[in-house]
Amino acid sequence: MSRSVMANVYSRPVMEGSTSVGWVSTAVGGYCTIPSMTTQITFLAGLYVRLAIARVRGRMRYRVGFLLMILGVFVANTFEFVALLVLFGQVRLLGGWNSHEVALLWGMSQMSFAIAEAFGHGFEGLAPQVRSGEFDQVLVRPLPVFFQVFASDFQAQRIGRFLQGATAVWFSRSDPASLPWQASNWTMVTFAVTAGAVIFFATFVLGGAWALRVVDGQELMNTFTYGGTTLASYPLDLFSDPIRRAATWVLPLAFVNYFPALALLGRVAPDGILPFGLSPITLALSAPIVALMYLGIAVVVWDRSVMRYQGTGT
């Protein structure tokens, strides 16, 4: 297919409600054709990569400032981790978990949140755009609304939080009695961190959907995003039963690191925490499935919010 035809393929959006769901071409024989889903996904993925690279290059023009931002994020999160270790200077166990075991929870939570924050910051910063009326411009562009918000920002400096989380996980392995580090354990940590990133990203998407409904609701959503990563940094054994249930059935934070940590450490969970009486290893392996289901719900909620969006009158 020639470049001119390809340009026409991606030039005209098919609109359904307020969301762009595809592209139509009238360049081939006068007939309207819709590119396949694979073609659309490939095009959008390539476009996102180019936009992300351009954003990183733009920040690297001020290399010292960019590196200082990464260092600042790393140091800020290190202070929080040090404060946690200071707490263990006063108590030997926290809900039956020692410092190295809690460090594992902390590190996995921070790594997952760093990935989600890097890719999902466009949804987090959506409320000011809705308030100012800038979001209305997104609705008339020939690209899916979800993709535009998703690709509007890429926070590469969040690698500082990720590295600090990785440092905490590395610290947890300094106690071989708590966790015998084997190749299978590293694999489970990788899968858990990836699933946790999807869960936190889906929460950012829900936050964006909430911003379309309630203009000044950003602080409430911060309770679930930043508050969620703080809650996930500690064992659920510390919290009351309603919070445990909410962290399992409403906002699935337990699948971010708690269930995987139980499986890795061989710990026995308190009564009533494990859903349906399943074993920790089963719940840990089901984390990717739960994460994708949660993301699917978030995307549906987002789509409904966009279709019912009426603007703020600004």
Q: What is the pLDDT of residues 54-84, one digit of tens each?
A: 988 888 888 888 899 999 999 998 998 998 8
Burial class (CB in 10 A: 0-12, 13-18, 19+), 7: exposed
pLDDT on residue 3: 35
Q: Kindly state the tokens that stand for 12.
A: 């005209």
pTM: 0.84
pLDDT on residue 26: 36
Q: Hey, where are the domains in the chain?
A: 62-307
Measuring CA to CA, how many Å separate 44 from each of 124, 169, 198, 247?
21, 34, 19, 33
pLDDT on residue 176: 63
d(CA 103, CA 85): 9
pLDDT on residue 309: 86
pLDDT on residue 4: 34
**Spans of the chain below 50 pLDDT:** 1-32
